[in-house]
Structure 1
Amino acid sequence: MNGRVLIVGAGQAGGRTAQALRRLGHAGPVMLVGDEALPPYERPPLSKEVLLGRAEPASLLLMQEAGWSELGVELRRSARAVAIERGARRVRLDDGSTLDYDHLVLATGARPRVFPGPVEPGAELLYLRTVDDALRLAPRLSPGQRVGIVGAGFIGLELAATARTLGAEVTLVEAAPRPLARLLPAAFAFEQIELHRARGVQVLLGHAVERIAPGRIRLADGGCIDVDTIVVGIGACANDELAAAAGLAVRDGIVVDAAGRSSDPAIHAVGDAARHVDAGAGLDHRLESWRNAEDGAQAAAASILGLPPPRPPVPWFWTDQYGRNIQIAGRPDDGHRCVVLDTPDDGPRLACYLDGSARLRGAIGIDCARELRRAMKLIERGEPVEDGALPVPRARALSEAVAT
């Protein structure tokens, strides 16, 4: 309880780990090191409230800078770790200084995947990951501006919704024939695409981008899209190079168990950089989400202090588009039977996905946070559920469809 804990990565996951350590009773030194100028902050609002002008960057902070000092956490900003010396239990920074640790937590996060094709001289590509990225992009989403977005994942869809809300003309290009293949059942994913088309977004599915020129996106089929701004949202890569160079097990992320322990017992990893692997529990994934950052921080802090681990949470993710809140819990899959509980006039709706044993495996809710939370409890129990026992948004209609 008195060892020195060094946290490399001062984002949401790193900040929450420091807070959890103090809350759970750690009395030793805690240092939080990050390469951004801001104290730890949450990223989800960047593509929504910040770009829409409804939130200032300062509102994203986990706590004000003075709060870290009051918590007894030493915060070192604008500092980058360049090497881990595991034998000596120390980390070397880019200014040549070193920091000792008894326990090291890697919260190094992820970075946007770079467009892999040719980019002609003079072409400018924007990405969205940091506050600085959001501030650079915001002025380009004004009415009449032509915005081309490469990638129809959640970040691309959120950016499209925000840009259209602000009056920009938007073209969304996706190489795959369907969006969100790893996250959503096909019917629901295509429904989101139709929502965007209804709001005036030009959506091109199954169109690979061949190259990017100044003010122009060139497609592999010979087509061209003229734009004023190009934003790339084709996924993210884990920042696991520091761990790999130190000899830790990595595979598109730092390999850890359910408690965040890496292949070195003195090192944990949390957040977007961590790949959770547990063969017994059928666990092998790297999650980029607000909830994963929160839960991973709590689990790692408990593990460092030798405390019982918290119960593994049900995976949960949310997105806001055109004023509608969409929440996804568990692992909804096309192979599951889908029961839709909805309300008239495109109101709140909950889609429940049950396996062959009638156990609820996943749920997708639109504007029904309370019912989604009830569904998460049913997923957590893992017991068979009668259709009539599923949470109904505002007690309205029940219809059923078998996923294809």
Structure 2
Amino acid sequence: MSETAQPSGPDLTKGIAASELPTGAMLLGHVGDDAVLVARQGEEIFAIGAICTHYNGPLADGLLVEDTVRCPLHHACFSFRTGEALRAPALNPVSCWRVERDGDMLFVREKMKVDRRHAPSGADLGSVVIIGGGAAGNAAAEMLRRYGYDGRVTMLSADDALPYDRPNLSKDFLAGTAPADWIPLRSADFYEKRKIDVRLGARVASIDTTARIVTLEDGGRIEFDALLLATGASPVRLDIPGADLAKLRYLRTFDDSVALIDEAKTAKRVAVIGASFIGLETAAALRERGLEVHVIGPQSRPLERVLGPELGDMIKAIHEEHGVKFHFGTSAAAINERGVILKSGEAIEADLVVAGIGVHPDVALASQAGLRVDNGIVVDEYLRTSADGIFAAGDIARWPDPHTGSPIRVEHWVVAERQGQTAARNILGQNERFDAVPFFWSQHYDVAIRYVGHAERWDKIEIDGNPAARDCMVTYFQAGRKVAVATVSRDLANLRAEVELEQEIF
């Protein structure tokens, strides 16, 4: 996750002709062993590190938008002026180089020391408390410090591990192709240096919105001037005979993923209950480990409700090509020592059972505190709850989406991080509307699906390309309005769709 890559393109220290870089263009080159991206907007010329700090995405294949570049893999956004990671999922900046013009030639010189500090803010806030150590909570804590807040920041996480990269738990890490050191978002030293008090295994019992006190289950009390709720979601649990057997697993936490990996070392057959994103990604990862995999679901094809029949058929075909066996049109009736009994009467032998049948937002604390709750914690466009000084972000937040014209709640990692960042800035008085277009990605073996927008329903689908060939763009419309776009093997088109949807506001 550095800027070092195999040198490609011209040696920028030797110069390039200015004509090679027209306005609105980018060019990939190198300075020594560092991959460097040069861009031009009008008479301004910039040079930054060419590798995304999230997962090494090639920024040269991304999209130039004004004085920023967006990564083609997971839509992180960087400033060409400062190298700052402006939008999650990237959290670290890229380097900047000085560019010198000599006649008709452009030369990239030395790395620059860039002051990315924001003006101090939040002086009237003695204490900010964050409940939740996931995507939103971590992003918020970091952003408070990036924006110059020097008061107390306390992150209360019910998890036993420091904030980690949750999407990877069902993807590369579970498949065995990503090392464990990829999983933590930050080290303990990172939080210590920034004086972020992270308390693991901390369970909150109640919130007093009037006295502005958080009470922990162990009796501890923490006062706050501002509070961010980022409690996330919990897996929906099966309620069938045998649901208490040890062979049944869920996948939500780092410990869950580690336990599955340990089980997979001795298991030969696994039954995955639920053809959701988490269920299918788990199926793919366990197939990569050599297990025989059976997927059970009541639908006729996977993910049809979210992606439509064409992409559903594509996903089914991909998994079948890798040996996954589907059992559709039925559901699990019971689990026993031999495996899973289906409502259809079929019995599936399995050493291991994984359930992925959805999640529900953890809103009990908010409800007990008297906050407005309706399919999540209701917030305004600034992510403020119904109580003064209390914000909510991530899987629990239901916000007024300017792109659909309706309140929505989504369970996407990137959305949670970006909401955490916006909430932090608003805690500090920035008054920034959350208007980011939702984005998520899903990986199935070597095929990635990227999705921007939000289509709870649609009445028309347009397909450009061929899903069966794993090369397409699927556009979803509601009442004549484009509401979402999914792409396969068309990453730049997905970025362009994101920009277009950003401009569509009710």
Q: TM-score, normalised by structure 2?
A: 0.71
Deviation at 1:191, TM superposition (A): 2.2
1:347–1:281 distance in 2 versus 1, CA, 3 Å: closer
Select which of 429, 435, 458 maps to 1:312: 435
Select the residue among 182, 189, 192 that pairs with 1:59: 182
* Compared CA separation, residues 311 and 241, structure 1 to 2 (3 A): closer
Deviations 1:19-57 (A, max 9, x none): 112222323211111122221112000011111222233
Task: Determine the structure 2 residue equivalent to 1:161.
Answer: 284
**C-alpha distance 280-51 of structure 1, shift in aligned 2 (>3 A):** closer
CA distance in 1, matches of 2:288, 2:306: 25
Does structure 2 retain, via aligned residues, the 8 Å contact 1:30–1:74? Answer: yes
CA distance in 1, matches of 2:410, 2:310: 23
Does the Cα contact within 8 Å between 2:399 and 2:407 map onto a contact in 1?
yes
Given that 2:208 and 2:369 are in contact with CA atoms closer than 8 Å, whether structure 1 keeps it comes out as yes
The answer to whether the 8 A contact 1:147-1:171 is kept is yes
Map residues 113-152 of structure 1 onto 2, 5 A cutoff.
Answer: 113-119=236-242, 122=245, 124-142=247-265, 145-152=268-275
* Per-residue Cα deviation, 1:328-374 (whole angstroms, up to 9, x for no partner): 1113555224031359x9354322335665x5432111132222111
- Residue 341 of structure 1: which of 450, 462, 465 is its match? 465
Identity of aligned residues (%): 34
Checking the alignment, whether the CA contact within 8 Å between 2:447 and 2:470 is kept in structure 1 is: no
Cα distance in 1 between the residues matched to 2:433 and 2:378: 19
Counterparts in 2 of 1:320-339, with a 5 A limit?
320-331=443-454, 334-339=458-463
1:371 aligns with 2:470: no
Root mean square deviation of aligned Cα: 2.3
Q: Secondary structure at the match of 2:307?
A: coil
Q: CA deviation at 1:257?
A: 2.0
The answer as to whether partners of 2:379 and 2:392 remain within 8 angstroms in 1 is: yes
Offset, 1:142: 4.9
1:216 and 1:225 in contact (8 A); partners too: yes
1:280 Cα deviation after fit: 10
Q: Does 1:22 align with 2:145?
A: yes
Q: In structure 2, what residue type is equivalent to 1:81? A: V
One-letter amino acid of the counterpart of residue 207, structure 1: T
Partner of 1:34: 157
**Alignment of structure 1 residues 99-118 onto 2, 5 Å:** 99-118=222-241
The equivalent residue for 1:49 is: 172
Tell me: CA distance 1:122–1:376, structure 2 relative to 1, closer, same or farther (3 Å): closer
**CA contact 1:144–1:167 (8 Å) conserved in 2:** no
| Residues in 2 aligned to 1:191 and 1:121: alpha-carbon distance in whole angstroms | 35
Identify the residue that residue 484 of structure 2 maps to in structure 1: 362
**What is the CA–CA distance in structure 2 between the aligned matches of 1:78 and 1:122, rounded to whole Å?**
25
Q: Deviations over 1:255-311 (max 9, x none)?
A: 222322111122111111222246996332221111111121122112212213155
**Is residue 121–residue 213 contact of structure 1 (8 Å, CA) maintained in 2?**
no
Is this contact kept in 2: 1:123–1:215, CA < 8 A?
A: no
State the partner residue of 2:17.
Answer: none
Question: CA distance change for structure 1 residues 154 and 269 in 2, over 3 Å: closer, same or farther?
Answer: same
Tell whether the 8 Å contact from 2:301 to 2:316 is kept in structure 1 after alignment.
no
C-alpha distance in structure 2 between counterparts of 1:120 and 1:278, whole Å: 38
Residues 76 and 273 (structure 1 numbering): CA distance in 2 closer, same or farther, change over 3 Å?
A: same
**Larger Rg, first or second structure (1 or 2):** 2
Listed as ranges, the gaps of 5+ residues in structure 1 are 384-404
**Maintained 8 Å contact 1:142/1:167:** no
Distance 1:96 1:377, change over 3 A: same
Q: 1:161-240 residue pairs with structure 2 within 5 A?
A: 161-240=284-363
| Cα shift at 1:181 | 4.5
How far apart are residue 18 of structure 1 and its match? Answer: 0.8
* Distance verdict in 2 for CA 1:123–1:106, change over 3 Å: same
In 2, Cα distance between the equivalents of 1:94 and 1:337? 49
Bigger RCO (CA 8 Å, 6+ sep): 1
CA offsets 1:118-167 (integer angstroms, 9 cap, x no match): 22664531000111101110133359710000000100110111111221
Aligned counterparts of 1:215 and 1:259: Cα–Cα separation in 2 = 51
TM-score normalised according to structure 1 size? 0.88
1:276-295 correspondence runs (5 A): 276-277=399-400, 282-295=405-418
CA distance in 1 between counterparts of 2:303 and 2:134 reads: 26
Q: Is the 8 A contact 2:395 2:412 kept in 1?
A: yes
Instruction: Give CA deviations for 1:85-107 in whole Å, capped at 9, x if unaligned.
Output: 22211111121110000111111
- What's the offset of the Cα at 1:113? 0.6
| CA distance in structure 2 between the partners assigned to 1:239 and 1:151 by the alignment | 21
Q: Pick which of 312-321 and 281-290 moved more.
A: 281-290
Matching residue of 2:67: none
SS in 1 for 2:172: coil
Distance 2:145 2:439 in 1: 26
Structure 1 position 68, deviation (Å): 1.1
What does residue 381 of structure 1 align with? 503
Aligned to 1:386: none
> What secondary structure sits across from 1:50 in the alignment?
helix
**Structure 1: distance between partners of 2:219 and 2:437:** 42
Rate the CA distance shift 1:141–1:14 in 2: closer, same or farther, 3 A.
same
Tell me, what secondary structure is at the counterpart of 2:169? helix
CA contact (8 A) 1:33 1:80 kept: yes
